[in-house]
């Protein structure tokens, strides 16, 4: 068993004493798919562990200086990409950083989880902005913030003249006509947007027709949406609820490769026609793809850094300390036979938070006794490695070996982008350093390539 005085030398350890105390409880409760909500006691600060000042950079990008309390918002039309590997903690950190920006003297924040509102496996810019408009209108209605009738009429007229007149919308058109006769103002616009967003997400027969209508009349839609954003911001300031609107668009990092290329690269001009202040979670593979991203500001959530990339491969204690806490808030420290076993689990994660939790889950399943030992951790690593073996190509292994030998980012290629997207190649120091995932190094094909 681990000596708790080594782990927690500086005081109270209540959060760790209440962690699940059996392997069955750990495996049934560990959740590596969803972000932590603000206030979740399992949250662990990782800024020092990531070796980057990402929090300060994030707030500065949106005009906020935490130390002085000063706020000078950027102009409308600022679109920011928040990069990071899937599962590295982007949504959790984004939620916490934006919570601090949400203040009557700073931002009125509209959060959009695209995974709830659109089909992330077949996404278009039109789908995203319908979802954003829906969330904006929903929050305005929820908080009782009115908008000038002439502004709402612009959006309503777009529906009436460009959408409801389309002969192929069939029953969807009839349903919307019925609802339009029953209300007006924000409630009506909310119903219209919700109906359209739902129809696009569920893949109904209307999806492509709606997308065609949006594409052909997108300029009119954006003009109406921009007018709504401008007027809503003025009403929010007058109500003392915020100085500007900040749209936090989460889930775009889960788009398929072809979809994020289309959304952020091929159709970027349509995306940035919306005059707003917005931040999007974006896949690290986009940053590594070599695509031109001139119309965006960029921020990176780096991986937790466990080692320095020097000749000695020096261990970074801040990284291990943070990762220990992540594990021990979900698994009681008495369930590890030694500190070495815990640190070995962390080593296999490569600083990837989700993979750390997946390894913990696998180790609990593989354990043959009541505690986690080196054998269960090694078995967990092999189990995770097998997932990479199922898709990494034979020609990829020399690339991974070279990255281990020369971690400095020396360029991009389709293969590198694919390896980064899948997590076999991890990026550190905001993308300036790369390393193969530690469990990939266990695979026979990697060992052969390494000679």
Q: Are 22 and 339 in contact (CB under 8 A)?
A: no
| Distance, C-alpha 216 to centroid of its chain | 30
Same domain for 276 and 290?
Answer: yes
pLDDT computed for residue 13 by the predictor? 75
CA–CA separation, 173 vs 182, rounded Å?
A: 15
CA–CA separation, 201 vs 313, rounded Å?
A: 47
CA–CA separation, 403 vs 389, rounded Å?
A: 18
Instruction: Say if 41 falls within a structural domain.
Output: no
Which of 300, 324, 359 is where one domain is finished? 300
pLDDT at 192 over 90: no
pLDDT computed for residue 179 by the predictor? 53
pLDDT at 253 over 60: yes
CA–CA separation, 153 vs 147, rounded Å?
A: 10
pLDDT at 57 over 70: yes
Model confidence at 123, in pLDDT bands (50, 70, 90)? confident
Same domain for 21 and 76?
Answer: no
Give the residue with greater pLDDT, 307 vs 165.
Answer: 307
Mean of the per-residue pLDDT values of the chain: 89
Number of structural domains (the chain) is 3
pLDDT at 42 over 70: yes
DSSP state letter for 160: I
Same domain for 207 and 71?
Answer: yes
Instruction: Say if 43 falls within a structural domain.
Output: no
Same domain for 232 and 88?
Answer: yes
Same domain for 255 and 154?
Answer: yes
Which of 389, 413, 431 is where one domain is finished? 389
Tokens representing 294 are 């001139």
Instruction: Say if 40 falls within a structural domain.
Output: no
Model confidence at 184, in pLDDT bands (50, 70, 90)? low
Q: Which residues pair with 297 in a beta bridge?
A: 80
Which of 249, 274, 300 is where one domain is finished? 300
CA–CA separation, 218 vs 221, rounded Å?
A: 5
Model confidence at 214, in pLDDT bands (50, 70, 90)? confident
Same domain for 167 and 204?
Answer: yes
Same domain for 322 and 405?
Answer: no
Model confidence at 204, in pLDDT bands (50, 70, 90)? low
pLDDT computed for residue 43 by the predictor? 92
Model confidence at 182, in pLDDT bands (50, 70, 90)? very low
Q: Which of 291, 266, 279 is nearest to 124 (CA)?
A: 266
Each residue of 110-120: pLDDT tens digit? Answer: 999 998 888 87
Residue 326 lies in domain: 4-35+306-389
Prediction pTM value: 0.90
Model confidence at 170, in pLDDT bands (50, 70, 90)? low
Instruction: Say if 48 falls within a structural domain.
Output: no
pLDDT at 9 over 70: no
Each residue of 59-90: pLDDT tens digit? Answer: 999 999 988 889 999 988 899 999 999 899 99
């Amino acid at each position: 068993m681990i000596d708790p005085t080594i782990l927690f030398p500086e005081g109270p350890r209540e959060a760790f004493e209440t962690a699940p105390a059996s392997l069955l409880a750990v495996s049934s409760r560990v959740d590596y798919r969803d972000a932590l909500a603000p206030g979740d006691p399992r949250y662990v600060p990782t800024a020092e562990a990531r070796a980057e000042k990402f929090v300060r950079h994030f707030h500065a990008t949106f005009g906020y200086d935490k130390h002085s309390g000063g706020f000078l918002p950027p102009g409308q039309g600022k679109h920011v990409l928040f990069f990071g590997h899937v599962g590295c903690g982007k949504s959790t950190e984004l939620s916490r950083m934006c919570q601090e920006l949400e203040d009557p003297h700073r931002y009125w924040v509209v959060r959009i989880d695209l995974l709830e509102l659109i089909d992330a496996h077949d996404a278009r810019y039109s789908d995203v902005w319908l979802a954003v408009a829906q969330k904006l209108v929903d929050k305005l209605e929820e908080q009782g913030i009115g908008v000038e009738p002439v502004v709402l009429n612009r959006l309503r007229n777009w529906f009436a003249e460009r959408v409801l007149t389309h002969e192929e919308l069939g029953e969807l058109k009839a349903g919307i006509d019925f609802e339009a006769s029953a209300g007006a103002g924000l409630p009506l616009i909310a119903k219209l947007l919700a109906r359209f967003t739902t129809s696009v997400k569920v893949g109904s027969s209307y999806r492509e027709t709606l997308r065609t209508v949006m594409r052909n009349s997108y300029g009119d839609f954006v003009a109406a949406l921009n007018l709504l954003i401008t007027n809503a911001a003025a009403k929010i300031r007058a109500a003392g609820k915020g100085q500007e609107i900040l749209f936090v668009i989460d889930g775009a990092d889960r788009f398929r490769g072809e979809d994020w290329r289309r959304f952020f690269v091929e159709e970027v001009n349509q995306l940035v026609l919306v005059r707003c202040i917005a931040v999007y979670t974006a896949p690290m593979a986009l940053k590594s793809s070599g695509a031109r991203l001139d119309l965006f500001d960029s921020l990176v959530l780096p991986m937790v850094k466990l080692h320095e990339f020097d000749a000695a491969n020096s261990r970074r204690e801040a990284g291990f300390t943070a990762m220990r806490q992540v594990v021990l808030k979900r698994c009681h420290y008495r369930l590890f036979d030694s500190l070495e076993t815990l640190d070995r689990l962390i080593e296999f994660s490569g600083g990837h938070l989700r993979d750390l939790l997946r390894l913990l889950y696998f180790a609990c399943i593989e354990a043959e006794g009541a505690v986690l030992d080196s054998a269960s951790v090694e078995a967990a690593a092999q189990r995770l490695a097998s997932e990479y073996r199922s898709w990494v190509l034979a020609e990829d292994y020399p690339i991974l070996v070279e990255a281990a030998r020369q971690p400095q980012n020396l360029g991009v290629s389709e293969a590198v982008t694919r390896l980064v997207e899948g997590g076999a190649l991890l990026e550190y120091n905001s993308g300036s350093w790369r390393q193969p995932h530690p469990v990939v190094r266990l695979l026979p094909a990697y060992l052969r390539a390494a000679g």
